[in-house]
């Protein structure tokens, strides 16, 4: 029998037909939509006079463009308000399940999907957002699409794409103290580069991956896109099943047993061939931080910013432009650099485990005077748990400002912007120029590192503080 990878098993089961010398017609099990990338898709459906084929396969929530204060009041920003209202109208018109602002399961689309148990192994999942790769943590094929494709899924539940190439990244061993899954993925991206997995779908494997919780796995898969990969996935196991059991949309009773039996078959066959493989040793990984303007520009916190040695032409020009934007010089240490803001949140690290780890580290301490500290839960559910577990109290006593759920300062579409020229250490996923506000300088790191930075006010290796 043909030996297949996990990715191939799921992909092949969803091909409606293959266009000769063209893409596959690819069936989508679950579709998430939000207010920013869906309105034009709905508008075009109307222009074509076409409806939504399977409304029950789409779930909506406003997250990108929502304020993180006063969510019970009318949204002040007119354009944001219009986008959110348009989403409400469209969901009502086409009978699509909406988790609106203020409702029990409102939140970032990639946080609520798993929380509700909508995300399940073996599924194909898309959303007009590149961090849809998050859902791959459950052993699903999940990736971001453009608005034209959002329209395709609404109209036909399919998109047309060619199968990606297959890559496996294996991380074996145990990570040291103070090293989290965020450090693992920042390390991998720094080794492979921001474009190194373009054209591939990545499977993460090895003991350093399988020993992770679901939340930590989601952080890894979430950032697959930051090395150019279409998506990333991890074979489902007992950790996955335990997470899903009892969730609102998870199968129940006999259906559960049947589902688990099927999910257990979802793994790469022994001897299946990948187009590319990487192997890393977990003990080489230390707390990481980015110093430049793409997520591939990461170093260990104890390291120095790379020099331009060996660079030439546009490569060197681009590199120096990036450091100039950040206000850094080649060859200098990153540790000790002064910081103005810390941001804990986003679909990368806005889950309860992330908030627990920050609270655990800042308990009984105070943030430094020069730091503004924002903490934005990924969802209402996370917010609720943070209150119930007493984490909010700890964080507020440490000087953190707790805001309401949403994408917030990760992409600064709403008011949560880092001022021009200021430095932010952020648990989010992108350090692009202007990502957190025009002129903002972003450094990506783990929640623990962010907690350490909040307390010291400068770039700090968390292992040296706590």
Of the two residues 179 and 259, which places its CB atom closer to other proteins in the complex? 259
Smallest separation, CB 160 to other proteins (Å)? 5
Which residues in the 351-390 window bind other proteins by CB under 8 A?
Answer: none
Of 3, 12, 16, 46, which lies in the binding site for other proteins, with binding defined by CB under 8 A? 16
Least CB distance to other proteins at residue 23 (A): 7
Establish if 39 lies at the interface with other proteins (CB under 8 A).
Answer: yes
22 touches other proteins (CB under 8 A): yes
Closest CA to 63 of 28, 89, 32: 32
Is residue 317 within the footprint of other proteins (CB under 8 A)?
yes
Cα-Cα end-to-end distance for the chain: 53
Q: Counting contacts by CB under 8 A, is residue 64 touching other proteins? A: yes
In the block, which residue shows the tokens 């399961």? 105
Could you tell me the two tokens for 257? 């047993």
What distance separates the 2 farthest-apart alpha carbons in the chain? 64
Binding to other proteins by residue 419, rule CB under 8 A? no
Strands of 284-362, DSSP E: 288-290, 298-300, 341-344
Residues 349 and 219: beta-carbon distance below 8 Å: yes
Distance CA 255, CA 146 (A): 34
Binding status of residue 51 toward other proteins by CB under 8 A = no
What is the x/- site pattern for other proteins, positions 154-183, by CB under 8 A?
A: -xxxxxxxx-x-------------------
Residue 323 Cβ vs other proteins, minimum distance, rounded to whole Å:
13
How many residues line the site for other proteins (CB under 8 A)?
A: 76
- Distance from chain centroid for Cα 88: 25
Determine which residue in the list 411, 424, 448, 454 makes contact with other proteins, applying CB under 8 A. 411
Least Å from the CB of residue 35 to other proteins: 9
Q: Among 205, 237, 207, which residue's Cα sits nearest to residue 221?
A: 205
Q: What is the DSSP string of 114-146?
A: HHHT---TT-EEEESSGGGGGGGGGS-EEEE--
Please give the radius of gyration of the chain, using alpha carbons only, rounded to the nearest integer: 21
144 binds other proteins (CB under 8 A): yes
69 is an interface residue for other proteins by CB under 8 A: no
Asked whether the beta carbons of 301 and 335 are under 8 A apart, the reply is yes
Find the part of the chain contacting other proteins (CB under 8 A) among 122-130, 381-389, 390-398, 452-460.
Answer: 122-130
Between 193 and 211, CB nearer to other proteins: 193
Q: Cα separation of 212 and 210, whole Å? A: 5
Binding other proteins by CB under 8 A: which of 363, 433, 465, 466?
Answer: 433
Comparing CB distances to other proteins, the nearer of 255 and 464 is 255
285 versus 413: smaller Cβ distance to other proteins: 413
Site stretch for other proteins (CB under 8 A), options 126-134, 176-184, 238-246, 360-368: 126-134
Interface with other proteins, residue 434, by CB under 8 A: yes
Give whichever of 49 and 271 is closer to other proteins, judged by the CB atom.
Answer: 49
Contact flags string 206-245 toward other proteins, x per CB under 8 A: -------------------xx-x-x---------------
Smallest gap from residue 50 Cβ to other proteins (A): 7
Contact letters for other proteins, residues 272-311 (x by CB under 8 A): ---------------------xx-----------------
User: Quick one: DSSP state of residue 419?
Assistant: P
Question: Number of H helices and number of E strands within the chain?
Answer: 16, 19
> Residues with Cβ < 8 Å from 93, sequence gap 6 or more?
none
Min separation Cβ 179 and other proteins, Å: 26
Segment 245 to 274, residues that bind other proteins, using CB under 8 A? none
Binding mask 319-348 for other proteins (x = CB under 8 A): --x---------------------------
Please, which residue, 230 or 367, has the CB nearer to other proteins? 230
**What is the strand order of the sheet 30-33 is part of?**
97-98, 58-60, 30-33, 124-127, 141-144
Can you tell me the distance from the alpha carbon of 228 to that of 373, in angstroms, rounded to the nearest whole number?
A: 30
DSSP letters of 66-83?
--SS-TTSPPSSHHHHHH
- Residues facing 205 on adjacent strands: 170
């Amino acid at each position: 029998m043909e030996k297949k990878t996990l990715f191939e098993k799921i992909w092949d089961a969803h091909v409606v037909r293959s266009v000769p010398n063209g893409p596959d017609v690819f069936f989508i099990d679950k579709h998430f939509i939000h207010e920013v990338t869906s309105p034009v898709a709905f508008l075009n459906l109307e222009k074509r006079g076409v409806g939504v084929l399977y409304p029950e396969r789409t779930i909506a929530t406003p997250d990108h463009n929502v304020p993180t204060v006063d969510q019970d009041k009318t949204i002040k920003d007119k354009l944001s308000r219009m986008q959110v209202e348009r989403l409400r109208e469209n969901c009502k018109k086409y009978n699509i399940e909406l988790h609106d602002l203020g409702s029990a399961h409102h939140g970032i689309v990639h946080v609520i999907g798993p929380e509700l148990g909508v995300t399940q192994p073996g599924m194909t999942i898309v959303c007009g957002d590149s961090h849809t790769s998050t859902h791959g943590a459950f052993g699903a094929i999940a990736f971001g699409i453009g608005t034209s494709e959002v329209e395709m899924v609404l109209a036909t539940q399919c998109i047309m794409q060619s199968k990606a190439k297959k890559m496996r990244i294996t991380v074996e061993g145990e990570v040291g103290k103070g090293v989290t899954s965020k450090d693992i993925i920042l390390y991998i991206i720094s080794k492979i580069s921001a474009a190194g997995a373009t054209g591939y779908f990545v499977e993460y494997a090895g003991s350093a991956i399988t020993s992770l919780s679901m939340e930590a796995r989601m952080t890894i898969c979430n950032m697959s896109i930051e090395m150019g990969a279409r998506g990333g996935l991890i074979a489902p196991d007992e950790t996955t099943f335990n997470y899903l059991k009892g969730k609102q949309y998870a199968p129940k009773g006999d259906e559960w047993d049947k589902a688990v039996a099927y999910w257990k078959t979802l793994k790469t066959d022994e001897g299946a061939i990948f187009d590319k493989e990487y192997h890393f040793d977990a003990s080489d990984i230390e707390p990481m931080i980015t110093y430049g303007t793409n997520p591939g520009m990461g170093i260990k916190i104890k390291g120095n910013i790379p020099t331009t040695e060996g660079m030439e032409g546009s490569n060197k020009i681009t590199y120096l432009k990036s450091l100039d934007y950040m206000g850094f010089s080649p060859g200098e240490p990153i540790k000790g650099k002064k910081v103005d803001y810390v941001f804990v949140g986003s679909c990368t690290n806005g889950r309860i485990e992330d908030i627990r780890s920050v609270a655990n580290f800042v308990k009984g301490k105070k943030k430094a005077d020069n730091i503004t500290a924002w903490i934005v839960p990924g969802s209402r559910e996370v917010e609720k748990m943070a209150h119930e577990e007493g984490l909010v109290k700890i964080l507020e006593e440490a000087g953190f400002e707790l805001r309401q759920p949403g994408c917030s300062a990760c992409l600064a579409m709403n008011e949560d912007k880092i001022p021009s020229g200021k430095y932010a250490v952020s648990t989010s996923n992108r350090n692009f120029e202007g990502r957190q506000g025009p002129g903002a300088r972003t450094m990506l790191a783990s929640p623990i590192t962010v907690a350490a930075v909040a307390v010291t006010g400068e770039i700090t290796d968390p292992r040296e503080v706590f």
